[in-house]
Copies of this chain bind each other. A is one copy, B any other.
Amino acid sequence: MNITILGTGSVGQALAKKLLTLDNNITIGTRDVEATLTKTELDGFGNPPISKMLTENPKIQLRSFKDSVAGADLVILAVSGRVAIDVLASSGELPAGMTIIDTTNPLDFSNGFPPSLFTESTTSLAEQIQEKFPHLNIVKCFNTMSNAIMINPQILDESSNIFVAGNDEKSRDLVKSLIFEMGWSVGEIVDLGDITAARGLEMIMPLWLRIFQSRGDANFNFKIAE
């Protein structure tokens, strides 16, 4: 597949490297290609600069948001929640029915760490994105874990869960196939149905962050024990 990943942070880089190994064509979108390539230090959120990763993986293309989506079969939104809608709006025109994987979290860092959420509990960022772009099929996925686990669930000793939510069943199936290829077993993939399930998926981020603070590492994931 031709996969476009919008966002050059840790999540975008991890997904790009993994999906490249699965024989996809990967394009990464960024606001300003030149500015992105000249960054040499971690940003304020601990994201490493992308230039090194691109040098090591020359098949991955870096393009402006607008140019990055041409010919894409699938788009992955991997930017900070605050700019998610703007980034999708500033990307080139996307055909009706395109599947967009939304990995974002509506984190509000205006009062420092730990962040709160900038959404109310009667909605979710994924739903807001879906409302803004009704011709696209938004599928929430990946937002509930570290990027190391997203692309390699076997680094945990125990099995854990990855969740999928979106209004279009075929788009959910596409995402489920993709994460299965990435190493998630059928039993680990939980389809929660329509996009309103994203409320719960986004609202577990505060607990994730608290456990992260408490442990001092991100080597854990949520699991539904039964």
By a beta-carbon cutoff of 8 Å, the part of chain A in contact with chain B is 108, 111, 116-117, 120-122, 156-161, 190, 192-193, 197, 199-201, 203-204, 206-211, 214, 219-226
Contact = CB atoms under 8 A, between A and B. Distances in A.
A143 to B, nearest CB: 12
Interface of A: prevailing SS: mixed
Contact of A192 (B111, B157, B214, B221): B214
B156 A225 contact: yes
Report, nearest first, the 9 A-B pairs whose CB atoms are least far apart: A200-B207, A160-B225, A200-B206, A223-B225, A158-B225, A117-B121, A116-B121, A203-B203, A223-B223
Copies of chain A in the complex: 2
A213 to B, nearest CB: 8
Nearest to A197: B210
A177 B100 CA distance: 47
17 contacts: A108-B121, A116-B120, A116-B122, A121-B121, A157-B226, A192-B210, A192-B214, A199-B206, A200-B206, A200-B209, A201-B207, A203-B203, A211-B224, A220-B226, A222-B222, A222-B223, A223-B225
Given A160-B225, A200-B208, A200-B209, 19 more contacts: A116-B120, A116-B121, A116-B122, A121-B121, A156-B225, A161-B225, A192-B210, A193-B214, A197-B207, A200-B207, A200-B210, A203-B203, A211-B224, A219-B226, A220-B225, A221-B224, A221-B226, A222-B223, A223-B224
